[in-house]
Structure 1
Amino acid sequence: MTEVELVGNALCLDFANTVNARPVAARDWLATSEQALAWARAAGLPIEDTAGLAEARELREAVFRIFEALANDGPPPRADLDAVLAVHAEGAARARLEPAGGAYGLRWEGPRTMRVLMWEVAASAVELLTHGPLDRLGACPSCVWLFLDTSRNRRRRWCSMTTCGSRDKSRRYYATRSA
């Protein structure tokens, strides 16, 4: 597998991006326990076990459908919103509020499990849904990865200029030269 790419600018979007090239994935960081552990470590959220990996994949798809719909100015599926909220509620019931850089954040005590990672992803999704900026959501036209456009001019088009952006520009260049 290649190196983990974190281009979403939000944990929930990076989690949705653990698979690419939907609907037929060329790469899936949640396909095996080893890959899930590697992704979590790269994301700065190391976990000790991956029990519940199938549920994590379900959460990933719900998060993807929500933010992909919003990135395309559509309504997110109600069932997916409810699924994310249920995971968030479960996590919030087991969390503590701890100081986190001038505010408070949710923190979980005990072993770092896939379930805790899911709670963090759901908290990130709820935070983005409730506080935005939803008008800065984007979906890469090449690989369908999701991202928050943090550029000053709000014109980000691709997940990454070095991968999809470069390929797309090259394709367009050669298409115009051939014509």
Structure 2
Amino acid sequence: MVNEALERELVILKHRAKESQQEAQKLALRLDTALLNLATKNQIITQVHEEISGLRAVVRALESEKLARQDESAAKQLAPGNSGDEQDYTSTMTIKPTNQEVLNHYLELCDSLVRQIEYSRLLPCPPDPLPLSVKQIVILESGNVVDLVSRALSLPQMIRRHTPLVKKKHTGRLRKHTE
């Protein structure tokens, strides 16, 4: 009688151990998936950073060209009898939009990457139960991502004000995935 009870208990314990092992494998798979999603998001963030670095280089080039043209304009205005030259100079400034096109190209790339980040950020979290460190994913939904990025990268005010890469769709709340 005692042996039968012990054998039943042993069978039950073996069954529970097998279930626990299967559950542990499922949790490990979910954790791997969550870590892969996190790695993908980090890769997208790196791409955005690289594109914004390219944008900074274009902005610097535009600023230096603008300053050079302002210096040329000031020098021509100080020179006597150059009224015809000034008209030619002004017309060439308005005809040559290549740097603006390059800037627009970089802004479109940044906008695309920011949209990818927003899409991946809004993907559902992996199903429960997960370890606490993976489960506590805090997502800040800010109003204007570009303004924050521009400040962090110390871009000029003109880019911050006049180039909305992300339309304001966010609520400004802090969302935390909990049990």
The bucket for the TM-score relative to the shorter chain is under 0.3
TM-score normalised by length of structure 1: 0.25
Normalized per residue, which structure has more strand? 1
Normalized per residue, which structure has more helix? 2
TM-score normalised by length of structure 2: 0.25
Larger radius of gyration: 2
